[in-house]
Copies of this chain bind each other. A is one copy, B any other.
């Protein structure tokens, strides 16, 4: 089965919005083993919409549309598809009830054009919309399958995950199971040869997705039943983890901060943060995780030297002798924030995010990240540099490095690249 994704909406042609629906559907179809040969975008123009849909129906087994299901005159997707397929529309009772309930709840009056939305193709499988007013559906005719989904991402995503996937499962010949591993510490190009044997595998398949400073590794198995698929997926996941070791920071997790907050909770420990160049990005990421308050109480953004001295007791002599961007200052910041915050662990970041402020000795991208507990301290020197949108890139990677240092300390993994604080305090 091969598919075409057709997005309908003039706002896409004008560039008002980016077509994230196409990416979402493409990922989902790829995970189900359904190949996508084309994606198309067309506006709310009857002729061009008809032309696009007929072309798609001619060259694909499965056509999935997004958008054009709403109540206004330029919402034409269903009508155009039905004409092309030779299928009539009917008024769907449950869709009508849901529409009326929706309007009743918000106290608005239903205008007649709203009822257009509850007209569905004869013989379709309706997908009732829990997050909007326009239902979607899937219909099969003459060996072609057409799935019509709403345009807004907050509607199409849950609808596809709930009804769309289930509908398509009948066309698959097995069960598909995926596991996502997240890796931090080895770049994509160095990672690729390490896992080449898995990337070459046909089932389970393994794919790498480079994200900001980290890599998502997706393992997908397709088998006759869920138990076998799970088992096959598990074997490959374990093999990959055995090859990569402690750079794999999580399985089916969203982010490094989620793992760090989870580890702190498990171990009943608290963390305090002191930031200079990242300006609060690290504490912002930690507090993105619901319930972070159990492990995080105090973060400070000491942007000025006098504030580093006042709030974190970084000795003026250290600032003068070594500068604000130095291992010594980073260590003093970590110790200071740990003590002031009464936390188990203190972590700090100080560096030059640019674009100004670099020197030959201390260039833009030089960052120190330090970590301390009650006994020991460590500091890591980073040289982050990339042309274009440099400042945000440096800040983001510095925060990731700090999170990874904390994770490694909590897991008892080696703090790769970090030096002992004693090296600077003799």
Contacts and interface: CB of A to CB of B under 8 A. Distances in A.
Given A298-B304, A354-B290, A15 B23 contact: yes
A288 interface: yes
Nearest 8 A/B pairs, CB to CB: A279-B287, A280-B280, A15-B26, A15-B27, A297-B304, A280-B283, A299-B301, A39-B41
Contacts of A26: 12-15
Nearest to A342: B306
Nearest to A31: B15
Interface of A: 12-20, 22-30, 35-43, 45, 48, 52, 55, 131, 154, 207, 209, 273, 275, 277-284, 286-288, 290-293, 296-304, 306-307, 310-311, 340-341, 354-356, 387-388, 391-392, 395
A291 B356 contact: yes
A23 to B, nearest CB: 4
B287 A284 contact: no
A306 to B, nearest CB: 7
A286 to B, nearest CB: 7
29 contacts: A13-B26, A14-B27, A14-B36, A15-B25, A15-B26, A16-B27, A17-B23, A18-B20, A18-B22, A22-B41, A37-B48, A40-B40, A55-B55, A154-B388, A279-B280, A279-B292, A279-B296, A279-B299, A280-B283, A283-B301, A291-B356, A293-B303, A296-B303, A297-B306, A298-B300, A298-B304, A298-B311, A299-B301, A300-B301
A328 to B, nearest CB: 20
B286 A284 contact: no
A112 B152 CA distance: 47
A306 B293 CA distance: 12
Given A14-B27, A26-B12, A28-B15, A301 B280 contact: yes
Contact of A301 (B12, B42, B287): B287
B30 A14 contact: yes
A70 to B, nearest CB: 15
Nearest to A158: B388
Contacts of A14: 26-27, 30, 36
A109 B43 CA distance: 47
A74 B352 CA distance: 40
Contacts of A15: 22-30
Given A280-B283, A281-B280, A388-B131, A23 B19 contact: yes
Contact of A18 (B23, B298, B303, B388): B23
Q: Taking each of A39, A355, A388, which has the highest tally of chain B beta carbons within 10 Å of its own beta carbon? A: A39
A39 B23 contact: no
A10 B20 CA distance: 16
